[in-house]
Amino acid sequence: MNLRGRHVLVTGAGGGIGRASALKLAAAGCRVTLVGRRSGALEETAALIGADAQVAPADVTDAEALAAAIATGQGRFGPVDILVNNAGAASSAPFLKTSAEDLRAMLALNLEAPATAARLLLPAMLAAGWGRIVNIASTAGLKGYPYVSAYVAAKHGLVGLTRALGLEVATKGVTVNAVCPGFTDTDLVARSVEVIVGKSGRDPEEAKAALFASNPLGRLITPDEVAATVLWLCGPEASAINGAAIPVAGGEL
């Protein structure tokens, strides 16, 4: 796939799906702005890409910081053609122990931050008559899971936002899609394993097996498998894919 010269901004680019997506898009010819809270991890991703990458550290839940990071990216590489909203996290607790603050935190990171990034970048895409927005949601945006109600609600919201915005821009040369990974081999899932171990006393391997059980493949999804779907959605062959929520989950859904 040739996306030479396109400018992509990836949030949560310090590891996992964000890093894998940045690497695949860079290999397709994109110039990449890497956004996230962990400067060191972003620098590691940038080093893997080379001169076509730049680091713009920011907490995506801080609208002013996110706008500043975007301005940094545009200052060097010009308008952003592709937005990959990957930054996210999950908190785990029974619903009756999930506070209003917990819910707001999940909504701020997993729903409001992607909406803010899209709001900031969409005008230039519309002016250019071409753009791609890819939201990294989750199978939690398509089904329920116990003990992560705030996360599930936020990811359902992100899928809804994707579908609605995709319809608004359908005739403008811009597509908006969501990728919905199942349990993926990332730091987020590693932390989930730690929580299971801490609360249940299970062996870490037993805790991993409990997560594998939901996937018919009997294993975790890899970041590269998710990133391959992101790359496809950004290419010209996917111009008719819009407002979709695509599971990458081995048949779980």
Give the CATH number, domain containing residue 43: 3.40.50.720
Q: Residue 144's pLDDT band (boundaries 50, 70, 90)?
A: very high
Assigned domain for 62 exists: yes
User: Residue 207 — pLDDT band, cuts 50, 70, 90?
Assistant: low
- pLDDT at residue number 63: 98
| pLDDT, the chain, mean | 93
Cα 142 to Cα 7, 70, 213, 245: the distances in Å are 30, 30, 18, 8
Q: CB of 118 within 8 A of CB of 83?
A: yes
Q: Which of 118, 131, 151, 248 is catalytic?
A: 151
pLDDT at 1: 76
Same domain, 149 and 173: yes
Q: Is the pLDDT of residue 142 over 80?
A: yes
Q: Do the domain assignments include residue 2?
A: no
d(CA 13, CA 242): 24
Residue 11 within any structural domain of the chain? yes
Q: Are residues 107 and 197 in the same domain?
A: no
Q: Are residues 63 and 150 in the same domain?
A: yes
- Please state which of the ranges 97-106, 168-177, 186-195 shows the lowest mean pLDDT: 186-195
Residues 139 and 178 in one domain: yes
Number of structural domains found in the chain:
2
* Amino acid residing at 118: A
Whether the full predicted model's pTM is greater than 0.85, yes or no, is yes
Specify whether the CB–CB gap between 13 and 19 falls below 8 A: yes
Residues 156 and 210 in one domain: no
Q: Is residue 56 situated within a structural domain?
A: yes
Predicted pLDDT of residue 101: 97
Could you write out the DSSP letters of every residue in 97-155? Answer: G--HHHHHHHHIIIIIHHHHHHHHHHHHHHHHT-EEEEEE--GGGTS--TTBHHHHHHH
Domain check: are 45 and 157 in the same one? yes
Does residue 253 fall inside a structural domain? Answer: no
* Residue with the two structure tokens 């996917």: 238
104 and 206 belong to one structural domain: no
Please give the Cα distance from 64 to 58 (Å, whole number): 9
**Rounded distance between C-alpha atoms, residue 208 and residue 196, angstroms:** 9
The answer to the question of residue 160 being in a domain is yes
Distances (CA, A) of 38 to 10, 120, 205, 238, 244: 13, 22, 28, 32, 30
Please indicate, yes or no, whether residues 154 and 143 belong to a single structural domain of this protein.
yes
8 vs 32: CA distance, rounded Å: 5
Angstrom distances, CA of residue 20 to CA of 25, 69, 159, 225, 228: 9, 20, 21, 9, 9
Measured in whole angstroms, the distance separating CA 53 from the mean position of its chain's CA atoms is 18
Asked if 12 and 39 sit in the same domain, the reply is: yes
> For residue 168, is it within any domain?
yes
How much is the pLDDT for 205? Answer: 72
Residues 69, 189 share a domain: no
- 1 located within any domain: no
pLDDT tens, residue by residue, 90-136: 998 999 999 999 999 999 999 999 999 999 999 999 999 999 999 99
Positive or negative, the CA dihedral 222, 228, 230, 231 is: positive
Q: Are residues 122 and 198 in the same domain?
A: no
147 is catalytic: no
| Shared-domain flag, residues 198 and 234 | no
**Higher model confidence: residue 203 or residue 13?**
13
Look at residue 15 and tell me whether its pLDDT is greater than 80: yes
Domain that includes residue 119, residue range:
7-182+222-247
